Structure 1
Amino acid sequence: MSQTVRQRSAAPALVRASVRRTSIKAEPLTCTLGAELVGVDLGDASRDDDLAAEIKTLLLRYKVLFLRDQDLTRAEHVAFASRLGPLEDHPVLGSDPDHPGLVRIYKDLDSKPEHYENALHCDATWRESPPMGAVLRCVETPEVGGDTIWVDMAEAYRRLPEHVKAQIEGLHARHSIEATFGAAMPVEQRHQLKAKYPDPEHPVVRTHPETGEKVLFVNAFTTHFVDFHTPENVRCGQDYAPGAGNLLTYLISQAAIPEYQVRWRWQPNSVAIWDNRSTQHYAVQDYWPAVRKMERAGITGDRPF
């Protein structure tokens, strides 16, 4: 069914019977994370609890799912994402006025290249409760370039040296929107942003609330440890400065290890669904001045523990 027909149809479409008879095929893309789903239409999933639940199960297994040829309307996009959880707005980017929770990330000739997407990060850890995940659809992409990389941060934690795991057990760190999105704002606007979103404190190693996995939970929004300076860790000042900062830099750098990554080449109507609690991602900005247009529905999460 074309996008035009879907937009004009007043009655809800029925889920195809073939979808109910056949399980989704998931083709793994790496040895650690990522799978491409074959034989599923997210328009159908936006109207079917069982199909959406099957996709959610695969998401918990593979952490990021990819689909091609998803000719979704914006209404279907937000309806499917809403089956994974309530949607949230973004305080800087804002939402599509007709579809709350849907953010347009458009990079065209009128846009200036910026430096937030092309950093390894976990979305909005500057919130007390960062997003559970997101559903991102490609509207337009360059012929070459503009890929996105995802990273398995549960695998990154599992493969840390045991003495590092012992050292970071129980540690907490601050995450900041002021030091990132706010840094280029006028000082008053930056202070207002921080007042609205005070720097939260999150565990350095979080527990995934559904799988129970331990996840290394520091990224480009993380500024410093808050409880490192103890007699057990600090014999003299150098153990804290630069010692604590060096440790944080080392932990953040784990996301750059290729063995933990999957890379996805976009095409129009491709979709990625990711678990923000256990992954980081990096939008490669190698394409300017070509045009790249994406639309994302972010799903509300819970407070890390």
Structure 2
Amino acid sequence: MESTAHSPSIVRPGALKSSFSVEPLAPTIGAEIGNIDLTSPLDDDQYTALRAALVKHKLLVFRDQDISAAQQVALARRFGELEVHPVFPHHPDHPELVMLGGDSKIPGRENIYHSDVSWRERPSMGSMLRCLECPSVGGDTIWVNMAEAYARLPESTRDALDGLLAVHDLLPAFGTRMSTDERAARRAAFPPAVHPVVRTHPETGERVLYVNEAFTTHLLNYIEKNDVRFGIDFRLAEMDLLQYLYRQAAVPEYQVRLKWRPNTIAFWDNRSTQHYAIQDYFPARRRMLRATVIGDVPV
């Protein structure tokens, strides 16, 4: 089966052969891609090799890529259909690009471990973030390999997660930015989504821990999967388990940390990672443009 931008199949390791270089950034996640000019459209071989590198390393970093907003949209669209985010401000000419970053009066609030738009029925396959402006010190971003996080859980915990479902919701993270009427409209348009606590990556078959503290609110069927004495046991045990799972993203051994420079692009797989934008630079500015590729329904 051939791989296309809209019908991905498992990409074989041999597809990594290409003219660009791939330099790992950390033992478990991340690679810097060199010897490539993203101002030119990707040919089929480049696309196939980059998709293979993305799936393998989960985060790709490209330095010194002075591309336009239109070129960023075209590049991201090569990997699939792009979403239009319902809350973040959009680029005036390209609604597929969200504009991220505060100013000297409003700090950013992305400093929480999360996977982009996990509250959608079809969450993101990947996100492509381009740095326009950043401070000389501070404003790094951390990414986490959540397949590794799942694989290194105790076996008894992995067994306990089998069949569990989690609820992901837009409003806890974004509702404070909205009026009462806006919250009601967003709730109607984007009801909470239910996804497996452990999803299977559609291209690798990896098992991935898929809960995050930004959007996952509770476990839907905890009481069905566990024996409890009283209601208080059910609630406390559920919350304890969910908090334990949230904390797996903070394990340094599963992470890589990127120092931004203008014209740096990070492209990551939201199906197998979480990330955390460090807010240590306010009131300096950090301005970014993000394109988000729509994914599949987690299973």
Normalising by structure 2, we get a TM-score of: 0.91
TM-fit CA distance, 1:107: 2.3
In structure 1, the residue matched to 2:19 is: 23
* DSSP 3-state at the match of 2:39: helix
Residue correspondence of structure 1 range 209-248 to structure 2 within 5 A: 209-219=202-212, 220-230=214-224, 232-248=226-242
Which 5+ residue runs of structure 2 have no aligned equivalent? 1-16
Give the aligned length: 282
Which 5+ residue runs of structure 1 have no aligned equivalent? 1-20
Q: Would you say 1:124 and 2:120 are equivalent positions?
A: no
In structure 1, the residue matched to 2:295 is: 301
Distance 1:74 1:104 in 2: 11
Q: Would you say 1:41 and 2:37 are equivalent positions?
A: yes
In structure 2, the residue matched to 1:290 is: 284
Distance 2:267 2:231 in 1: 44
String of CA shifts for 1:156-205, please: whole Å, max 9, x gaps.
00000011111110100111111110134333322221111000101000
Task: Indicate if the aligned counterparts of 2:199 and 2:208 stay in contact, CA closer than 8 A.
Answer: yes
Paired residue type of 1:25? S
In structure 1, the residue matched to 2:83 is: 88
Distance 1:189 1:51 in 2: 43
The runs of at least 4 consecutive aligned structure 1 residues that moved more than 3 Å come to none
Match of 2:244 among 250, 254, 261: 250
Paired residue type of 2:80? G
Task: Indicate if the aligned counterparts of 2:197 and 2:209 stay in contact, CA closer than 8 A.
Answer: yes
Paired residue type of 2:52? T
Q: Would you say 1:152 and 2:145 are equivalent positions?
A: yes
TM-fit CA distance, 1:134: 1.0
Report the RMSD for the aligned CA atoms in angstroms. Answer: 1.5
Normalising by structure 1, we get a TM-score of: 0.89
Task: Indicate if the aligned counterparts of 2:28 and 2:254 stay in contact, CA closer than 8 A.
Answer: yes
Report the more deviating stretch, 237-246 or 92-101: 92-101
String of CA shifts for 1:247-288, please: whole Å, max 9, x gaps.
001001100000000000000101100000000000001001
Report the more deviating stretch, 175-184 or 210-219: 175-184
Task: Indicate if the aligned counterparts of 1:127 and 1:197 stay in contact, CA closer than 8 A.
Answer: yes
